[in-house]
Amino acid sequence: MKHYLKVLSVALTCLLLICGMGSEIFAQTTLADVKKNRGLNDDDVLAATKTFMPRGGRDDYFAFVGTGNSGTMIVYGLPSMRIYKYVGVFSPEPWQGYGFDDESTLMLKKGSLDNRLLRYGDMRFPALSETDGKYNGKYLFYSDGANSRIALLGLDDFETKQVLMHPLFLNAFPGVAVTENTEYVIQSSEYPTPWDNKEADPETEFETKFKSGITCWSFQDTQEEAGTGHHIGRMIKENSFTLELPPFTLGYFDTGREASNGLLVGLAAYKDQSYIYVYDINKASKLETIEVHDFMVIPFQVAIDNGVFALIPVDETPHSVKVDPSGKYFITATDDAMVFDFAKVKAALDQKTYTSQSVVNVPTLDEKSLLHGTVKIGRNVIDNAFDYRPNTVYTSAFDDKKVVRWNYETLKVESAIDLTFKPGQLMTPQGNSAEPHSNYLTVVDKEGLYDNMIPIGPARPSYQHLIDISSDDMRDIYTMSLPQSNIYGSVSVLRTTIKPIIRYPLGTNTRTGEISRYKTVAGQEKIEREGNRVHVFGTLIRSHITPEIVEVEEGDVVTFHLTNLERAEDETHGFTVSTYGVHGSFEPGKTASLTMVADRPGVFPYYCTEFCSALHLEMEGIFLVRPKGYVASPETEGEIKLTLEQLAEYKKNYEDKIVVINQTQDVINSVVTYLKDNNYQNYPYVEALVVDALDQLELAKTAKANYERYAAEGKWKDAFLWAEQYWQYQVKTADVGLRAKKLLSEEISK
């Protein structure tokens, strides 16, 4: 092999010399040199090429992972495997102000026991919203196993929109599934507990007081608000219902689709015996319910009497059970994989074809008569994933260090890939939907040992591998590190199915999707006091925080309601008050509120915490807490007085800036002419940029009016700062305009 490499290297070099383009093609060093220096072979080069993302390149898929114990979601791209976001879901996240600003804190508290702010979550198997069994790219759902909460995220802005605490369960399985049109989001308990939250003796009262259950959370989507790209779906507690069950330990579950839509299959254990349960949600949704803790419950006996729930005893404990893309089969992750025929299972349930044995009064079905067949896979099987190829499934065998590709119709093993690690959970893009898509398979590495990975102290990241499954010869092409996580399940969808927004309508409370009552526009900033309650209505825009000084009395309860006035892309501002531990993130258009008790007198600078422009450091102000008993006088608020010398300096700066402004305007004018002359509105992406540019100019009008007014009044500092701000709008406009011009010229030349 070494000899061959040398031959290839020489051959390549010759080839390059022949072509006379060596230095141009292989840059500063040749491919052969890099391979030699880094100890890579041709397989490595091929693998590298499969995952490399050039500047400006976009991934084919988004993937969503629950971190397990950090309570946040990770979003990454395939095939680049770059992580794009951590999003706060079940625990506060300081960078995004999640669980810091009042809006998200209120949402989290509503979704907790006793109105407490829970700071931890255990989330593992997410589900994407579906239309006709296919991912629609609108919402994502997570279950918090530790605290039995459920969360809804919007994928237009990748934010958490709703968190609910289960009114009955004290503990949940950390996964969810949805029905074919997202009518229901399904969550189950994991370890059984009493439902009335009261103590019960686990030894003597286990059978009588401990319960398990399965909940169908009713989900209601709404139309997109015109032109905003903003969807507001919600889980409706009042329309949701829970099936009461004996004290089973419940595990992984999945929903049927097409002919099996409305059926749920999942894992249950009771007294060291494993079962697969079958639950007819459609039929159950029509049964009479009783109210327990203000929640609709189908009593156990009602469910049994109506034949909506049964158990299939199985010899081997499955690690998962998944429904195939067609909805015809469901397959267990067991060493001897069991392929169940959904039609037979449904018929048996409908016709109550029970065996003679029941389990704590739950009827059982006969495994053998429901099987399409079984296939011997390997030792310690962990998970299955489906491919776009007909009837193809991939199965991980932990102890054998391999993933097996097999056909669940013909029950034949087709091929396998030997791995260098013990494989765990599997994921194929869209593999959990009616429309699997991709040539990729991700495999969780359940070890992460030092002889495989980089030494980094006793606590390790999770690792997962990307497998190229595009041909018979499967290849392990990338080892991904997932920090701050304990990865189990994940889901992935075509990137283009998701339609992310760029900005919010001005003044949006992003958690409710509504315009906030605290929305503040430029010039309307104010401070309202009522007793010891102070409301600051402020704005954020390059490069000002208004107001510049907020003066309060020790003991006041102060809320900063801030609105980011920006309309430009990626113009996020952050806000913190020194030593008060508050933080907010304000994306363009967002309004959020930060409340604090001013319990320490002193001078506390506040400032913008995101690099927002070259004048970022100007975005600061002072939170002045006067000692108890001090009465604030309005005239102490305002700007620091300037010396005559400073005033002259600002005047000069102002005049210099006006010159620059005029020059910049010339550039804008020329761009505008070009765009108009070339019918930019015929090119959607170019048009979007122009809209962005025009938004900037609209804002600029106010800045211009301000600098002209302050200049007329001889207030040169303010005049300069507003002129500076006007110029920043101009520059952004020019910048966006030039990008639009470049794109347009490229489009035209095509």
CB of 691 to a copy of itself, least distance (A): 13
Give the integer Cα–Cα distance in Å for 444 and 464.
4
Binding positions for a copy of itself, 259-288, rule CB under 8 A: 271-272
Name which of residues 553 to 582 contact a copy of itself (CB under 8 A): 569-570, 572, 574, 576, 578-579, 581-582
Residue ranges in 487-546 that form contacts with a copy of itself under rule CB under 8 A: 488, 495, 500-504
Give yes or no for residue 423 binding a copy of itself (CB under 8 A).
Answer: no
In the complex with a copy of itself, which residue's Cβ is closer, 330 or 463?
Answer: 463
Judged by CB under 8 A, the residue of 56, 531, 629, 684 near a copy of itself is 56
Q: Which C-beta is closer to a copy of itself: that of 233 or that of 601?
A: 601
Partnered with residue 574 across adjacent β-strands are 585
CB 338 within 8 A of CB 371: yes
Strand order, beta sheet including 177-178? 177-178, 184-188, 212-220, 234-245, 295-298, 290-292
Q: C-beta of 255: minimal distance to a copy of itself in Å?
A: 23
- Both tokens of residue 152? 């809804």
- Closer to a copy of itself by Cβ: residue 370 or 577: 577
Site track for a copy of itself across 427-446, x = CB under 8 A: -------------------x
Q: Of the listed pieces 129-137, 389-397, 407-415, 626-634, which binds a copy of itself according to CB under 8 A?
A: 626-634
Q: Give the nearest distance from C-beta 206 to a copy of itself in angstroms.
A: 7
Q: Footprint of a copy of itself on residues 120-179 (CB under 8 A)?
A: 120-122, 146-148, 156-159, 170-171
Q: Least distance to a copy of itself from the beta carbon of 71, Å?
A: 5
Give the Cα separation of 676 and 726 in Å (integer).
Answer: 24
Q: Are 634 and 696 in contact (CB under 8 A)?
A: no
Q: Which of 629, 624, 592 is nearest to 606 (CA)?
A: 624
Q: Which of residues 68-97 bind a copy of itself (CB under 8 A)?
A: 68-71, 74-75, 77, 82-86, 91-96
Q: Where are the alpha helices (DSSP H) in 66-122?
A: 102-110
CA distances to 142, 178, 281, 430 from 241, rounded to whole Å, are: 18, 14, 10, 28
Residues 173-232 that bind a copy of itself (CB under 8 A): 190-191, 193-194, 197-203, 206, 210
Nearer to a copy of itself, 468 or 525 (CB): 468
Q: Which of 6, 17, 44, 259 binds a copy of itself (CB under 8 A)?
A: 44
CB 112 within 8 A of CB 121: no
Instruction: Check if the beta carbon of residue 194 is closer than 8 Å to that of residue 141.
Output: no
447 lies in the site for a copy of itself, by CB under 8 A: yes
Work out whether strand 620-626 and strand 549-553 pair parallel, antiparallel, or are unpaired. parallel
Supply the minimum distance, in Å, between the C-beta of residue 533 and a copy of itself.
20
Decide whether 349 or 426 has the Cβ nearer to a copy of itself. 426
CA neighbor of 101 nearest in space, from 117, 85, 112: 117
Q: Looking only at residues 450 through 489 of this chain, which bind a copy of itself when binding is defined by CB under 8 A?
A: 450-461, 465, 468, 470-473, 475-476, 479-481, 483-486, 488
570 or 656, CB closer to a copy of itself? 570
Closer Cβ to a copy of itself, 282 or 317, answer by number? 317
211, 244 Cβ separation under 8 angstroms: yes
Considering only 180, 324, 387, 610, the residue that binds a copy of itself (CB under 8 A) is 610
Minimum distance from residue 700 beta carbon to a copy of itself (Å): 19
Least Cβ distance, residue 387 to a copy of itself (angstroms)? 15
- Spell out where 193-305 has E strands: 212-220, 234-245, 249-255, 263-270, 273-280, 290-292, 295-298
* Strand pairing report for 412-418 and 423-427: unpaired
Q: CA–CA separation, 190 vs 511, rounded Å?
A: 29
3-state secondary structure at position 741: helix
Among 449, 521, 597, 648, binds a copy of itself (CB under 8 A): 449
Report CA-CA distances (Å) from 560 to 455, 497, 623, 667: 45, 37, 11, 39
- Among positions 390, 523, 605, 714, the unique one binding a copy of itself when judged by CB under 8 A: 605
Binders of a copy of itself among 663-702, rule CB under 8 A?
685, 689
Closer by beta carbon to a copy of itself, 44 or else 666: 44
Cβ pair 252, 125 in contact under 8 A: yes
Stretch that binds a copy of itself, among 178-186, 236-244, 275-283, 621-629 (CB under 8 A): 621-629
Nearest CB to a copy of itself, comparing residues 347 and 611? 611
- Position of tokens 């003597």? 204
Between residues 182 and 572, which has the closer beta carbon with respect to a copy of itself? 572
Question: Considering only residues 316-345, where is the footprint of a copy of itself by CB under 8 A?
Answer: none
Shortest approach of a copy of itself to residue 260 CB, angstroms?
28
Nearer to a copy of itself, 37 or 351 (CB): 37
Of 642, 657, 654, residue with least CA distance to 712: 654
Euclidean distance between CA atoms 326 and 342, whole angstroms: 10
**Cβ atoms of 327 and 258 closer than 8 Å:** yes
**Chain mean position to CA 93:** 13
Calpha distance 718→1 (Å, rounded)? 72
For residue 241, the minimal CB distance to a copy of itself (Å) is: 22
Binding string, residues 2-41; x marks residues near a copy of itself by CB under 8 A:
--x--xx--xx--x---x-x-x-xxxxx-x--xx--xxx-
Contact indicator for 528, 561 with CB cutoff of 8 Å: no
Interface of this chain with a copy of itself, residues 283 to 302, rule: CB under 8 A: none
Shorter beta-carbon distance to a copy of itself: residue 99 or 538: 99
The binder of a copy of itself chosen from 376, 410, 528, 630 (CB under 8 A): 630
Shortest approach of a copy of itself to residue 557 CB, angstroms?
A: 17
Q: Give the 3-state secondary structure percentages of the chain, helix then strand then coil, rounded to 5.
A: 25, 35, 40
User: Residue 123's closest CA among 84, 149, 154?
Assistant: 149
Which residue has 């803790």 as its token pair?
A: 293
Using CB under 8 A as the binding rule, the residues of this chain from 364 to 393 that contact a copy of itself are: 380
| Spatial separation of the C-alpha atoms in residues 27 and 194, rounded to whole Å | 68
Please report how close the Cβ of residue 485 comes to a copy of itself at its closest, in angstroms. Answer: 7
Could you give the CA distance from residue 603 to residue 420 in angstroms, rounded to a whole number? 59
Binding-residue total with a copy of itself (CB under 8 A):
177
Site for a copy of itself in 709-748 (CB under 8 A): 739, 743
Q: Are 405 and 388 in contact, with CB atoms under 8 Å apart?
A: no
Minimum CB distance to a copy of itself, residue 615 (Å)? 11
Question: Which one of residues 49, 356, 361, 749 is an interface residue with a copy of itself (CB under 8 A)?
Answer: 49
The helix (run of H) or strand (run of E) holding residue 362 is: strand 362-363
| Comparison of 52 and 656: residue with beta carbon closer to a copy of itself | 52
Distance of alpha carbon 646 from alpha carbon 560, whole angstroms: 31
Contact segment (CB under 8 A) with a copy of itself among 296-304, 594-602, 668-676, 699-707 equals: 594-602
**Residue 570 token pair:** 């990626």
> Judged by CB under 8 A, does residue 116 bind a copy of itself?
yes
Q: Residue for token digits 């993130």?
A: 585
Residues composing the chain? 750
- Name which of 43 and 350 has its Cβ closer to a copy of itself: 43
CA distance 97 to 94: 5
* Among positions 48, 290, 521, 648, the unique one binding a copy of itself when judged by CB under 8 A: 48
Q: Based on CB atoms, which residue is closest to a copy of itself, 288 or 472?
A: 472
Residue 73 to residue 83: CA distance in whole angstroms: 11
